[in-house]
């Protein structure tokens, strides 16, 4: 499959690298066609990896991963172009973290709205599924690095798109416990978890942790 990965940070590099290792063709998108971090990633990952602008990547990809920072997500998707996004499935991994006042960051949208909803409103013909935004990059692509079953969540308006995401989370990344929270408004919950996740990281001294959901039979 041809896949677009938007963003050159740790999440984009990790997701893109895993997808190439699985045999997919991956184009990493950034603001410029000759981004140095993207070029270094392409050199490291190999022949099925390529780079370009956000528009280049989304025109190339049948499937899109939004791995940009939350503060830059709408700008990146606008640069990608509505025609390149129309009708496609976007896995939104971004979080609305505001680092302007230092650490720990705050959320620039919460409670009555979410970044996932903002993206869906801005691009109504895009099938947005919020997922993987509650865990570290390495756990996203390798849940087995944490013992036992633990949960990943999906939120989105399109039932078929969510079903496709559930399949690829299982088949590509090895996830076993996938919880469908409902429509895209439920991404308010997973995005609002990030302040706790960051504090847990500080308390535990590692980003390799996750939530296990246990319910009464």
Rounded average pLDDT over 80-89: 96
Q: Is the pLDDT of residue 217 over 90?
A: no
How many other C-beta atoms lie within 10 A of the C-beta of residue 139? 22
d(CA 12, CA 16): 6
**Does the pTM exceed 0.85?**
yes
Name the superfamily (CATH) of residues 2-204.
NAD(P)-binding Rossmann-like Domain (3.40.50.720)
Helices (H), the chain: 10-21, 36-45, 54-60, 73-80, 82-85, 115-122, 137-141, 159-171, 187-192, 194-204
Render pLDDT for 32-71 as a digit per residue (tens, 0 to 9). Answer: 999 999 999 999 998 999 999 999 999 999 999 999 999 9
Render pLDDT for 95-125 as a digit per residue (tens, 0 to 9). Answer: 999 988 888 888 999 999 999 999 999 999 9
How many other C-beta atoms lie within 10 A of the C-beta of residue 47? 8
What is the model's pLDDT at position 104?
Answer: 84
Length of the chain: 217
Instruction: Please state whether 87 falls in left (phi above 0), alpha (psi between -120 and 50) or beta.
Output: left
Distant-in-sequence, close-in-space partners of 97: CB < 8 Å, separation ≥ 6: 69, 70, 71, 105, 106, 107, 108, 194
What are the extents of the domains in the chain?
Answer: 2-204
Percent of the chain residues past pLDDT 90, beyond the cut: 94
């Amino acid at each position: 499959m041809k896949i677009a990965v938007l963003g050159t940070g740790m999440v984009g590099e990790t997701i893109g690298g895993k997808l190439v290792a699985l045999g997919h063709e991956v184009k990493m998108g950034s603001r410029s066609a000759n981004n140095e971090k993207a070029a270094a990633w392409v050199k490291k990952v190999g022949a099925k990896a390529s780079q370009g602008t956000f528009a280049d990547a989304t025109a190339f990809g049948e499937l899109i991963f939004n791995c940009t920072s939350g503060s830059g997500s709408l700008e990146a998707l606008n640069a990608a172009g509505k025609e390149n996004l129309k009708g496609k499935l976007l896995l939104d991994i971004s979080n609305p973290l505001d680092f302007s006042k230092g650490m720990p960051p705050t959320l620039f949208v919460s409670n009555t709205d979410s970044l996932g909803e903002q993206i869906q409103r801005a691009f109504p013909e895009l099938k947005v599924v919020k997922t993987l935004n509650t865990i570290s990059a390495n756990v996203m692509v390798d849940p087995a690095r944490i013992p036992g079953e633990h949960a990943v969540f999906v939120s989105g308006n399109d039932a078929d798109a969510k079903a496709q995401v559930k399949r690829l989370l299982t088949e590509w990344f090895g996830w076993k416990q996938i919880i469908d929270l409902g429509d895209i408004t439920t991404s308010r919950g997973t995005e609002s978890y990030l302040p706790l996740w960051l504090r847990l990281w500080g308390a535990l001294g590692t980003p390799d942790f996750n939530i296990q959901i246990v319910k009464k039979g």
